[in-house]
Amino acid sequence: MDFFDFTFPIRIAMPTAWESHIYRQTVLIVLSIIFVSGAIVFFFRNKNYYFVQSWASIKSWLIAAPLMFIVMGMPEPWPLVFLTLLAILGAKIFFQIMGMFHRSYFVLICYAGIVGLGVATWYDRLDIYNFMPMIVLGAACLVPLIRNSYKRMIQYMSLTLLGFIFLGWSFMHLGLILKFPNGVYQVMYLIILTEFCDNTNLAVGRYVGGWKLFPGINPRRTVGSTAVAAALTIFLAGSMRFLLPDGSDKYWLASGLVASLGGFLGDLIMTVLRRDAGMKTVGPFILGRGDFLNRVDRMIFAAPIYYYVMTVIL
């Protein structure tokens, strides 16, 4: 039986990414970087806090990166389905952090909204995509009536909308980016850049100090470490510009800036939420550092900014 032989309408407009030598080359480069970094960090993994964190992060990516490449290399619509499932997983952890995962009505409305975003993306209905937050808010407002209860409903409705905007509407912009020319490459490009930026910031934080940018939120983020991480990310963006459909300077420069600064903002905002909720982590993501939301929080700003920079500004 052909695994990809479906009866529902599927557009195989482009070959699977694995058929492209660029994709295979990218996979090889990225996995080599992760393995080499892992081999180096392994010997210093217990040296100090920063190496412990870096090693944990590399461990989780040793498992997550091959999985990501396998799925992203599959034909349409599997990469989009995969992103939708990731968004749902992110939303689940958000609701656990906010202590409302057992409020099933709100959780299911958010999940349904995320699935709706996936469907809207698949059918290129940007109007429905951007209208979806209103639908989710409307549905969430009906829950108190269905439950015939008013207790703490402002909190639940607000958090449902916040969770949907961050983990649904924002994150699912990666699905819209998939629709770009070489979309799969661009999604991978953005993920690699944001993850690289975060790990670099963490790694150089001990050695490059300066002002603490937001000591009340995250005392480890300094001006120096953020600037160095951004510079290195922009350098990596330039090195990997072959993944962009247009390799001219403005595109990879914009990508590097968006990945570093947008990712930085997303990370900080999610830290604000975690600290207010009094919750550091829900549980390890595969292995290593933080939960799944720690891995994708940078996308809640980077993905929509990247999308609009590429479509509107450039």
CB of 89 to other proteins, least distance (A): 10
- Answer for which of 32, 48, 149, 155 binds other proteins (CB under 8 A) is 155
Tokens 């790990």: give the residue. 199
Token pair recorded at residue 28: 């090889």
- Smaller CB distance to other proteins: residue 9 or 283? 283
In contact, 309 and 176? CB cutoff 8 Å: no
CB of 284 to other proteins, least distance (A): 9
In contact, 238 and 256? CB cutoff 8 Å: yes
- Smaller CB distance to other proteins: residue 22 or 63? 63
What does the chain come to in residues? 314
- Answer for which of 46, 278, 312, 313 binds other proteins (CB under 8 A) is 278
Nearest CA-CA partner of 251 in 166, 314, 311: 314
CB of 143 to other proteins, least distance (A): 15
- Smaller CB distance to other proteins: residue 98 or 310? 98
Helical residues (DSSP H) of 150-290, grouped into ranges: 153-163, 173-178, 183-204, 223-239, 249-257, 263-277
Residue 138 in contact with other proteins, rule: CB under 8 A: no
CA 243 to chain centroid, in Å, comes to 18
Number of Cβ within a 10 Å radius of residue 187? 25
In contact, 187 and 72? CB cutoff 8 Å: yes
With CB under 8 A as the rule, give the number of residues binding other proteins.
19
Residue 87 in contact with other proteins, rule: CB under 8 A: no
- Answer for which of 152, 206, 250, 275 binds other proteins (CB under 8 A) is 152
- DSSP states of 118-160: HHHHHTT-HHHHHHHHHHHHHHHHHHHHHHT--TTHHHHHHHH
Number of Cβ within a 10 Å radius of residue 23? 21
Point out which span in 46-54, 97-105, 115-123, 164-172 binds other proteins (CB under 8 A). 97-105
Residue 277 in contact with other proteins, rule: CB under 8 A: yes
CA pair distance 1, 124, nearest whole angstrom: 30
Residue 102 in contact with other proteins, rule: CB under 8 A: yes
Point out which span in 3-11, 54-62, 170-178, 271-279 binds other proteins (CB under 8 A). 271-279
User: 212-214 and 218-222: which strand pairing?
Assistant: antiparallel
CA pair distance 156, 103, nearest whole angstrom: 8
Residue 9 in contact with other proteins, rule: CB under 8 A: no
- Smaller CB distance to other proteins: residue 62 or 128? 62
- Answer for which of 59, 92, 221, 289 binds other proteins (CB under 8 A) is 92
- Answer for which of 29, 39, 67, 108 binds other proteins (CB under 8 A) is 108
- Answer for which of 65, 100, 132, 254 binds other proteins (CB under 8 A) is 100
Residue 97 in contact with other proteins, rule: CB under 8 A: yes
- Answer for which of 101, 180, 214, 308 binds other proteins (CB under 8 A) is 101
CA 156 to chain centroid, in Å, comes to 24
Token pair recorded at residue 207: 């050695």
Site string for other proteins, 35-74 (x = CB under 8 A): ----------------------------------------
Residue 279 in contact with other proteins, rule: CB under 8 A: yes
- Which residues contact other proteins (rule: CB under 8 A)? 92, 96-102, 104, 107-108, 152, 155, 276-279, 282-283
